[in-house]
């Protein structure tokens, strides 16, 4: 595996389900990101972890819970979601922040909440 991988690629869940999205980066980076991509809206930065410590948390509802057990893995735990949470969830990684370091994105998980 190379780059940034995400599983599953597609997920359909009911509002009462609990599921998790997984992201893994094989680039040796020290920062990982979760974004939400909805049609006709800007990409929304949800969470950022640097060296396994959360450094950004952009007013995301508590039904989304991130976890970063090490610098290569990032999870997004989902519970009691709403239909408006249906979107493409992108994971990204970078070596440091500050803009000079390129972000590498995964293919995304297409989430549908029924």
Partner 1 sequence: AQTVTQSQPEMSVQEAETVTLSCTYDTSESDYYLFWYKQPPSRQMILVIRQEAYKQQNATENRFSVNFQKAAKSFSLKISDSQLGDAAMYFCALTPHTSGTYKYIFGTGTRLKVLA
Residue 22 near partner 1 by CB under 8 A: no
Q: Got the DSSP string for 40-82? A: TS--EEEEEEETTEEEEE-S--TTEEEEEEETTEEEEEEES--
> Which structure tokens are listed for 42?
């800007």
Neighbouring residues of 83: CB distance < 8 A, sequence distance ≥ 6: 15, 113, 114
Q: How far is the CB of 99 from partner 1 (least distance, A)?
A: 3
Q: How far is the CB of 16 from partner 1 (least distance, A)?
A: 30
Residue 31 near partner 1 by CB under 8 A: yes
For residues 40-56, b (16+ Cβ closer than 10 Å) or e, as one string? eeeeebbbbbbebeeee
Residue 51 near partner 1 by CB under 8 A: no
Residue 95 near partner 1 by CB under 8 A: no
Please answer whether residues 4 and 27 qualify as being in contact, where contact means their C-beta atoms are separated by less than 8 angstroms: yes
> Which structure tokens are listed for 76?
């997004």
Residue 41 near partner 1 by CB under 8 A: yes
Nearest to partner 1 of 48, 78 (CB atom): 48
Nearest to partner 1 of 50, 113 (CB atom): 50
Residue 76 near partner 1 by CB under 8 A: no
Residues contributing to the site for partner 1 (CB under 8 A): 3-4, 31, 33, 40-43, 45, 48, 50, 55-56, 90, 94, 97-100, 102-103, 105-108
């Amino acid at each position: 595996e190379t780059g940034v991988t995400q599983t599953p690629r597609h997920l359909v869940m009911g509002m009462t389900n609990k599921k998790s999205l997984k992201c893994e980066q094989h680039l040796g980076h020290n920062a990982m990101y979760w974004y939400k991509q909805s049609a006709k809206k800007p990409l929304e930065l949800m969470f950022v972890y640097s060296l396994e410590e959360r450094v950004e948390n952009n007013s995301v509802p508590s039904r989304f819970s991130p976890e970063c057990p090490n610098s290569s893995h990032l999870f997004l735990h989902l519970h009691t979601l709403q239909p408006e949470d249906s979107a493409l969830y992108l994971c990204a990684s970078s070596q440091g922040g500050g803009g000079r370091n390129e972000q590498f994105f995964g293919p995304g998980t297409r989430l549908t909440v029924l």
